[in-house]
Amino acid sequence: MTDSAQSVLIAGQKEKVRRGLDRRLRSERRFRAYGIVAIVLAILMLLFLVGTIVSNGYSAFTQTWIKVDVLLDEELIAPDGETDPETLREDGDFRGALIETLVADYKPEGRAQEDLLVAMFSTEAEWTLQRHVIANPDLIGRKITIWVKSSSDIDQLTKGAVRRDSPESGRKLKDLQLRWYDRMTAENRIETRFNSGFFSSGDSREPEQAGIWGAIVGSFLTMLVTLVLAFPVGLAAAVYLEEFAPKNRLTDLIEVNVNNLAAVPSIVFGLLGLAVFLNFFELPRSAPLVGGMVLALMTLPTIIISGRASLLAVPPSVREAALGLGASRMQVVSHHVLPLAMPGILTGTIIGMARALGETAPLLMIGMVAFIVDIPGGPTDASTVMPVQIYLWADSPERGFVEKTSGAVMVLLVFLIVMNASAVYLRKKFERRW
Amino acid sequence: MNYGAILATLLVLTVIGFYLGRGRARAAAGAPTRLHSLPGYYGAHVAIWMALPAFALFLFWISFQSAIVEGMVWNGLPDRVAVLGEAKPKNALPAAQKQLLINNIRNYASGDIVSGEITDLVKQGAAAYRRLEVLSSWIMAAAMALLAAIGLLVTYRSISPAMRARNRVERVLLLLLMVASTIAILTTVGIVLSLLFEALAFFTKVSPVDFLFGLEWSPQTAIRADQVGASGAFGAIPVFTGTLLITVIAMIVAVPVGLFAAIYLSEYASRRVRATVKPVLEVLAGIPTVVYGFFAALTVAPLIRDAGAAIGLTVASESALAAGLIMGIMIIPFVSSLSDDIIIAVPQALRDGSYGLGATRSETVRQVVLPAALPGIVGAVLLGVSRAIGETMIVVMAAGLSARLTVNPFDAVTTVTVQIVTNLTGDPEFDSPKTLSAFALGLVLLLVTLCLNVIALRVVQKYREKYD
Amino acid sequence: MDENIAEAIVAAPEADASDAVDAETFRVKMTTRNVNVHYAEKHALRDVTLDIGEREVTALIGPSGCGKSTYLRCLNRMNDTIDICRVTGRLELDGQDIYDDSVDVVQLRASIGMVFQKPNPFPKSIFDNVAYGPRIHGLVSDRADLDQLVEQSLRKAGLFDEVKDRLGDPGTSLSGGQQQRLCIARAIAVGPEVILMDEPCSSLDPIATARIEELIDELRQNYTIVIVTHSMQQAARVSQKTAFFHLGDLIEQGETPQIFTNPRDEKTQGYITGRFG
């Protein structure tokens, strides 16, 4: 074949390549678009989720208060004339005083309407009044003005979550209540305030009184137990496996175990806690102690694995240098290797703890789902934790709890963001390239 | 006596022991022979032998104290006890009533709520309980003090310049490290044994064949024998198919989205896009599952139901679709970040070879990179599947309870994890088949996820070796 | 499509091509003018101006990090795959600017093939490795043509006899030298005019190296070849032209015998006599 014949044929090939080009570039663009669509989809989902939570939940941080004028009728509040706190607390009928004034002001007709009127206020209102009077006993007999919490339904109305135009039978707030509410608004008796009770009280059946402080304390105690158990044990195990363990079957067995445990569904750890900690060792149900133990077992593999990775990243030259100076292996590890690996180990620990903080399923198994009003005082008190509180509230039908649930989710997410951000910061700050 | 106080005392004693030991070592160092180890090691040696045996005793004691105390209280009760108003010989009581009585005694003694009436019997038992508990604490504290004293005495006297304190201390430390690393094994053993025991108890009441192959699941057993439809059926097939259905839906969402996201990030995205998008995807993995569950139940399930109604489909309000969809979103970051690692591990030389022949990026990805990465991606998907099967909160909150044998994604189905949770929460009696069935399901769950993980890890490992 | 086309793709003229080289019909295939390459802040290549002659072997030599591989990767725009890399200057193939917007890299790389430092067969069968290029470019329309094209490409790469009974085996099952010849066959199968080789023998043993060098010598009858090598003996053995790079500069270029026997620059002198490297 001659040169010219060959170049003609090569030109033919070029032509073929050129002709296929359009189709190939189109398919290239399509393929690239799939990738972008996938990422956009995932990010949109995240935004949708966060958006839903925030739009449902931001209102949990405010609370509607109503200004009422109460005549502190001596007959009701201090029938014996005694005004010391003890007697007031025992005998004072603050609820009666409240209702008496409200009835006088709004003039409900009959028992049913009176109930409707009272239902506009939180059941907490009488305690607010009581506290106020106990602090100022000289007010008794006078007419005072005091702000009290509204009921959850009124709260939702103020926040715009109740449709007024739906048929009366279908809504919780009746027309009469709406009229009273409008009158209160006109008299500037309605006010929205920061809901400090949300951050200072425990659970409640009434949405307007429910708070997450109990759950936060429960979570804190549980995490404390988890950290105290999982960190030293995980650290010790990582150090042993990475620095001391001989290569034998026991070590292999441990390695396989650690890897598998890391992938065991969390609910199985709950079953373990139920069968071993509760039924066998008879530890208390619903206690942060047991919750912390279960979560510690669950977190342990994460800490061991990340700890080993950090230890492995410390170059052998460091160990050799220290050994060459006559340090024992234990001294090499504790003086040189561990300090260098510590940021990595802490990062892994924080990430493991963050995961434990968001964990719900195993805690359901050990009875942390109970309805608990009191703020737990110690690791053996019955308590709940934030994710479980979210689960419990999510199950409650009242509209007021939807907002509370979303609010609790926001608080939980803030904790998680802080933990993860500190892990990232730690990693960035101490990142070393050998 | 407060356990915290006991441990605090022990800690203080240990610290004192440390200083004593170190002081004596320093004094001994004045002699012509040099100390073998730094003085601190001698102190640590003393401290270890004071604290460790006493602490071990403490753990041992509190583990078994309540059982022993209960036994003694029980034996101390009169032979005939009044239960529900009638006197019965106490050794003839059914186990459940005996347990209830003991629980009441214990709760009364610790000031907790007692179910039922507080009888004299309970009061008498509680008094004995409290007495014995205090006694037991004192005995324990005394024994711990004795052990610490012996430890102090023996180690303190053994201090001499020739003693190899550092080696001894390090040996104990090494032993502690070793013990810590065996906790992983203990946990596994604990999981397997607890599941196995309870599951075996379950299988004495329900045959394994009926459990594994039965087509009807309704774990409500009758409280009264004459109740209708409450016989309790434990055929787990509908539960398994429900789990499978939701898992399949989840993977249909997670695999394409996760894989394409990984491909885009590793092959197309600029460094800056990658550095921003990757953490954002990772946020999806960091959101607690209870939040996903809430989101599914509150927003997504009604959305799907309404959308279905709009086009004339009947969609259950707790449809498998909603739960599966949200679970899929939760799993996206798993698939994407694992696949991303794996795709990046494909050697650049292979890509260069393909580009060098004039292949476009997508041709290179589809025909060279993906086939090379396939085993690893399969491993990543398997890990995702195992995650989906074991996921609990999303399905508890967004999937139903009714065990229906269906593959219709618009129906409500139930899953293994949902059944475990519902059968164990509340206050069930512990030996009913309903409660025990949760452990049998747990055993199946453990075995399946374990198999998936082992296979997935193997596959990924093989893949890594190939390109290292 | 008939047999001729498959033949033309692998450009296998039976005519005696040696006289084509001897006949001093020197024609420039590629020209490069003032090529500069930056990797982020690093100036990797400075003002390189070099002509590549058609159907001859041009060797690029120089110490590691001198920019010779970077230059090679400019010739078929492989540097495009690196985000931070910026190329300026004029590079032409047959008078056409290859960095022009109208040029598609896909098309360009079909004309300028490349063989890499480490043999990089795809994790596919031997057959599929060679068939990959023709398939993506749509060069053949039926299986028989493809079979023929694969066979001829393997023959040109001197590999066919060794692998003809196991075309279905994975490409990775071959020895290092065979893998590299497979990669050459893979490049030939697309029907390129120029073949770029980036230290093609650096990971091979001496016998496999000798085999590749023979192959290069055969291939130059039909292809323009640019080879980067760190072995001066290899450059002397296989190339007609040699260019010496040092720290991002093109120091000297010329006929291979002249460069090795009578270098004009003292850096070239220093390098080829082994004073640095």
Burial of B227 (0-12, 13-18, 19+ CB in 10 A): exposed
- How far CA A196 is from CA of A60, A66, A212, A305, A411, in Å, comes to 10, 16, 11, 41, 13
| pLDDT at residue C17 is higher than 80 | no
pLDDT at residue A308, rounded to an integer? 93
CATH assignment of C3-272? 3.40.50.300
Better-scored residue on pLDDT, B220 or B432: B432
Q: Which two tokens stand for residue A77?
A: 């509040």
pLDDT at residue C6, rounded to an integer? 56
pLDDT at residue A108, rounded to an integer? 86
pLDDT at residue C32, rounded to an integer? 92
DSSP class per residue in A114-179: HHHHHTTB-TTHHHHHHHHHHH-GGGTTSEEEEEEEBPHHHHHHHTT-S-TTS-GGGSSS-HHHHH
Residue B201 lies in a domain: no
CB-CB under 8 Å, B351 with C121:
no
Residue B317 sits at the chain A interface (C-beta within 8 Å): no
pLDDT at residue A266, rounded to an integer? 93
Residue B447 lies in a domain: yes
Residue A330 sits at the chain B interface (C-beta within 8 Å): yes
Better-scored residue on pLDDT, A318 or C227: C227
pLDDT at residue B144, rounded to an integer? 92
Residue B400 lies in a domain: yes
Last residue of a domain, one of B144, B163, B182: B163
pLDDT at residue A130, rounded to an integer? 87
CATH assignment of A213-430? 1.10.3720.10
Q: Give percent above pLDDT 70 in chain B.
A: 90
CB-CB under 8 Å, B349 with C120:
yes
Q: What is the mean pLDDT of residues C247-257?
A: 91
CB-CB under 8 Å, A35 with B260:
yes
| pLDDT at residue C7 is higher than 60 | no
- Give the position of tokens 């009959």: A110
Phi-psi region of C142 (alpha: psi -120 to 50; beta: other; left: phi over 0): beta
- How far CA B283 is from CA of A45, B279, B286, B329, B463, in Å, comes to 11, 6, 5, 11, 27
Query: By a Cβ cutoff of 8 Å, what residues of chain B touch chain C?
Result: 270-271, 347, 349-360, 363, 367-368, 371-372
> What phi, psi does C265 have (nearest 5°)?
-95, 145
List of residues 6+ apart from A20 with CB closer than 8 A: C137, C138
CB C157 within 8 A of CB C215: yes
Q: What residues in C contact A24, CB-CB < 8 Å?
A: 106, 136
Of C78, C83, C106, the CB nearest to B352: C78
Beta strands in B100-234 (DSSP E): 217-218, 233-234
Q: Which two tokens stand for residue B322?
A: 């909603």
Better-scored residue on pLDDT, B166 or A226: A226
CB B328 within 8 A of CB B311: no
- How far CA B39 is from CA of A323, B18, B27, B159, B167, in Å, comes to 21, 10, 10, 10, 13
Q: What residues in B contact C183, CB-CB < 8 Å?
A: 353
CB B439 within 8 A of CB A275: yes
pLDDT, tens digit, 9 for 90 and up, residues C87-139:
999 999 988 899 988 888 888 888 899 999 888 898 889 999 999 989 888 88
Global pTM reads 0.85
Residue B316 shares a structural domain with residue B451: yes
User: CA A332, CA A13: separation in Å to the nearest integer?
Assistant: 67
**How big is chain C by its Cα radius of gyration, in Å?**
18
Residue A4 sits at the chain C interface (C-beta within 8 Å): no
Residue C27 sits at the chain A interface (C-beta within 8 Å): no
Residue C83 sits at the chain A interface (C-beta within 8 Å): no
Residue B139 shares a structural domain with residue B285: no
Interface of A with B in 405-434 (CB under 8 A): 405-406, 409, 412-413, 416, 420
Q: What residues in B contact C106, CB-CB < 8 Å?
A: 358-360
- Helix H or strand E segment including C47: strand C42-53
Band of the pLDDT at B226, cuts 50, 70, 90?
A: low
Instruction: List helix spans (H) across B311-347.
Output: 320-345
| pLDDT at residue B224 is higher than 60 | no
The domain that holds B243 is classified in CATH as 1.10.3720.10
Q: What is the mean pLDDT of residues C149-169?
A: 91
The length of chain C is 277
Domain ranges of chain A: 3-58, 61-203, 213-430
pLDDT at residue C11, rounded to an integer? 47
Residue B121 shares a structural domain with residue B245: no
Q: How many CB pairs under 8 A join A and B?
A: 256
pLDDT at residue A355, rounded to an integer? 93
Residue B181 lies in a domain: no
**Which residue of chain A has the CA closest to C103?**
A18
CB-CB under 8 Å, A13 with C5:
yes
Q: What residues in B contact C118, CB-CB < 8 Å?
A: 349
Q: What is the mean pLDDT of residues A76-95?
A: 80
- How far CA A389 is from CA of A116, A266, B341, in Å, comes to 30, 18, 36
pLDDT at residue B163, rounded to an integer? 81
pLDDT at residue C166, rounded to an integer? 92
Residue B23 shares a structural domain with residue B124: yes
pLDDT at residue A106, rounded to an integer? 86
| pLDDT at residue A123 is higher than 80 | yes
CB-CB under 8 Å, B392 with A361:
yes
List of residues 6+ apart from C215 with CB closer than 8 A: C157, C158, C181, C184
User: CA C72, CA C112: separation in Å to the nearest integer?
Assistant: 11
Domain count for chain B: 2
| pLDDT at residue C245 is higher than 80 | yes
- How far CA A302 is from CA of A261, A295, A351, in Å, comes to 9, 11, 8
Q: What residues in B contact A355, CB-CB < 8 Å?
A: 286
| DSSP helix/strand/coil, C114 | strand
Q: What is the mean pLDDT of residues A78-82?
A: 77
Last residue of a domain, one of B142, B163, B184: B163
Interface of B with A in 252-281 (CB under 8 A): 256-261, 263-265, 267-268, 277, 280-281
Last residue of a domain, one of B163, B191, B223: B163
CB A69 within 8 A of CB A145: yes
List of residues 6+ apart from B297 with CB closer than 8 A: A394, B318, B322, B397, B398
pLDDT at residue B113, rounded to an integer? 65
Burial of B76 (0-12, 13-18, 19+ CB in 10 A): middle
pLDDT, tens digit, 9 for 90 and up, residues A16-63:
888 888 899 999 999 999 999 999 999 999 999 999 999 988 989 999
Which chains does A contact via 3+ CB–CB distances below 8 A? Answer: B, C
Lowest mean pLDDT of A299-303, B71-75, B356-360, C231-235, name the range.
B71-75
Residue B226 lies in a domain: no
Output b/e per residue, B195-208; b: 16+ Cβ within 10 A: beebbebbbeebee
pLDDT at residue A433, rounded to an integer? 58
DSSP bridge partners of C96: C93
CB-CB under 8 Å, A17 with C110:
yes
Task: Select from A25, A39, A366 the residue whose CB has the most chain B CBs within 10 Å, as the one to mutate to test that interface.
Answer: A39
- How far CA B182 is from CA of A77, A200, A245, in Å, comes to 66, 42, 12
pLDDT at residue B114, rounded to an integer? 64
Mean residue pLDDT across chain A: 88
User: CA B43, CA B50: separation in Å to the nearest integer?
Assistant: 11
Q: How many CB pairs under 8 A join A and C?
A: 55
Residue B310 shares a structural domain with residue B435: yes
Residue B130 shares a structural domain with residue B14: yes
CB B301 within 8 A of CB B398: yes
| pLDDT at residue A248 is higher than 50 | yes
- How far CA A55 is from CA of A161, A212, A402, A420, in Å, comes to 12, 19, 11, 24
Mean residue pLDDT across chain B: 86
Determine the structural domain holding residue B62 and report its residue range.
3-163
Residue A282 sits at the chain B interface (C-beta within 8 Å): yes
Q: What is the mean pLDDT of residues C246-262?
A: 90
Task: Select from A2, A4, A6, A7 the residue whose CB has the most chain C CBs within 10 Å, as the one to mutate to test that interface.
Answer: A6
ipTM at complex level: 0.90
pLDDT at residue C19, rounded to an integer? 43
pLDDT at residue B161, rounded to an integer? 80
| pLDDT at residue A166 is higher than 60 | yes
Residue B250 shares a structural domain with residue B125: no
Q: What residues in B contact C186, CB-CB < 8 Å?
A: 353, 357
Residue B200 lies in a domain: no
- How far CA A379 is from CA of A204, A391, B57, B64, B166, in Å, comes to 21, 21, 22, 20, 37
pLDDT, tens digit, 9 for 90 and up, residues A204-234:
888 888 899 999 999 999 999 999 999 999 9
Lowest mean pLDDT of A71-75, B183-187, B445-449, name the range.
A71-75
Residue C17 sits at the chain A interface (C-beta within 8 Å): no
Which chains does B contact via 3+ CB–CB distances below 8 A? Answer: A, C
CB-CB under 8 Å, B358 with C132:
no
| DSSP helix/strand/coil, B429 | coil
pLDDT at residue C20, rounded to an integer? 43
Band of the pLDDT at A7, cuts 50, 70, 90?
A: low
Band of the pLDDT at B147, cuts 50, 70, 90?
A: very high
Widest distance between CA atoms in chain A: 127
| pLDDT at residue B11 is higher than 90 | yes
Of A240, A265, A276, the CB nearest to B180: A240
Q: What is the mean pLDDT of residues B156-171?
A: 86
Residue A24's nearest CA partner among C189, C45, B252, C109 is: C109
Band of the pLDDT at C4, cuts 50, 70, 90?
A: low
User: CA C153, CA C183: separation in Å to the nearest integer?
Assistant: 10
User: CA A363, CA A278: separation in Å to the nearest integer?
Assistant: 12
CB-CB under 8 Å, B270 with C83:
yes
pLDDT at residue C12, rounded to an integer? 41
**Which residue of chain B has the CA closest to A308?**
B181
Band of the pLDDT at A281, cuts 50, 70, 90?
A: confident
